[in-house]
Amino acid sequence: MSELRVRFAPSPTGYLHVGGARTALFNWLLARKQGGTFILRIEDTDVERSTQESVDAILQGMRWLGLDWDEGPFYQSDSFELYKEYVQKLLNDGKAYRCYCTSGELDKKRELAMQEGRKPKYDGTCRERLDQSDAPYVVRFRAPQGGEVAFDDLIKGRIAFPAEELDDLIIQRTDGTPTYNFCVVIDDASMRITTVIRGDDHVNNTPRQIQLYQALGFPVPQFAHVPMILGSDKARLSKRHGATSVIAYRDMGFLPEALMNYLVRLGWSHGDDEIFSRDEMVQKFDINNVGRSASVFNTEKLLWLNAHYIKTGDTERLADLLLPHLSKREVTTLGGPDLILVVKTLQERAQTLEEMADRAVFYYNAPQIYDEAALAKFEKEHLLAVFETVAEQLSATTAADAAGFDALFKEICIEKGWKMPQVGQPVRIALSGGTQAPGIGEIVATLGVTETVSRIRMAGVFVAGK
């Protein structure tokens, strides 16, 4: 096992966002490729917003995608005593200080700085204060002054910040709770994280965190900041662009391998390849090949990938995955045709499991209504003749598979002088209620001759009564 240690550290304030899932995926792929360790950490220090429901949603999304972790999940809320120890260490070493400035005073300092055209950062009023008042206080990090803080980002290249732009960061609030940037440094150091892969919205946090690593004598990890995902309007991906939850895509009938394949290609490429198996992703992934610019989420591309994975997927597995989608439609497969056979007739054409479920309903629920506009394209006498002829011929046939039934329909056409659409379309409507259905032979083979004949005779009764 290599010394590489990476982590995914979501905040449990909502579902697993596709952007977060992509970050988790990049971490997971790097760990699997290099034989490293992938750690899951739940950053739940925001007590008011963190919920167990969100934790469960994140874990559910990770498991559905198959992003298994090697250590964890660890919870920041279990480490408050550790954070306090390090706050005290910085205070003892003179690398942190108590700040008694009130929020009102800080607001005035910010307003004055902005009026004078200065960056609205803390002016260091309490930096050299030696007395210890009984008034409420926060603890600030005594940021080194002068020079710059620089790091070589694995994706963006060298990034440097003038130290004068970094103010004295609050590391502990007045209620004694630690702040995000401080917790992250302590966690990553104590977990021996060697590479931090995260969204590029954290770039501005990185120099402050580097200063904390150095002040505490911790080794500084490598950083890789992944560009954000945008919606079609080039704004940051949000609910107004459609679903952003990983589990929402599961519920919409997407396969985990399709979403995983799509996410890995959002910002990363390997030549012109589009389709990657799980093993191929691990083998070919290179964090240095992640692009520097933001990626646009394209639902049509995801649908194309999902259709590919449905078309080439294991039929038995697809049948199992289809069951919850049929249940949503109050469809039971008990007493109906074999669901695996049903899936075989549909997987060539379905883009999602939801779409497949819609198209599978007729196999288990005989149509109660028919597409009358489609039926109206044929003379009533012709429809009755087709239904009667097909019902009689099927009742007497020895055909047992789709090819045999298709051959039978061709014989009927030759015998009666009909064209195939003149027979196939009315029968398809009789069996499914509409015109969008698999091939006639496939339907008959899946439904069985008895059920097929029964439905054709029911359609004949409907047409006769018109």
In the block, tokens 């002068």 appear at 146
Which residues contact residue 80 at a Cβ distance below 8 angstroms, ignoring those fewer than 6 apart? 177, 178
Which of 340, 359, 341 is closest to 350 using CA atoms? 359
295 by Cβ neighbours in 10 Å (0-12 / 13-18 / 19+) ranks as: buried
To which H or E segment does residue 257 belong?
A: helix 256-264
Which of 245, 244, 242, 276 is closest to 258 using CA atoms? 276
Q: Which residue intervals of 93-167 are DSSP H helices? A: 103-115
Vertex 418, ends 376 and 393: CA angle to 5°? 95
Which of 426, 425, 422, 389 is closest to 408 using CA atoms? 389
| Separation between Cα atoms, residue 172 and residue 186, nearest integer Å | 13
Contact between 29 and 281 under an 8 Å Cβ cutoff? The reply is: yes
Q: Is 297 helix (H, G, I), strand (E, B) or coil?
A: coil
DSSP secondary-structure letter at 194?
-
Written as six digits, the tokens of 232 are 């079609």
Q: Phi then psi for 191, rounded to 5 degrees? A: -90, 0
Neighbour count for residue 362 (Cβ, 10 Å): 20
- Which residue among the candidates 108, 119, 239, 380 is catalytic per the annotation? 239
Instruction: Judge whether 344 counts as a catalytic residue.
Output: no
| Separation between Cα atoms, residue 139 and residue 162, nearest integer Å | 23
Q: Which residues are catalytic?
A: 239
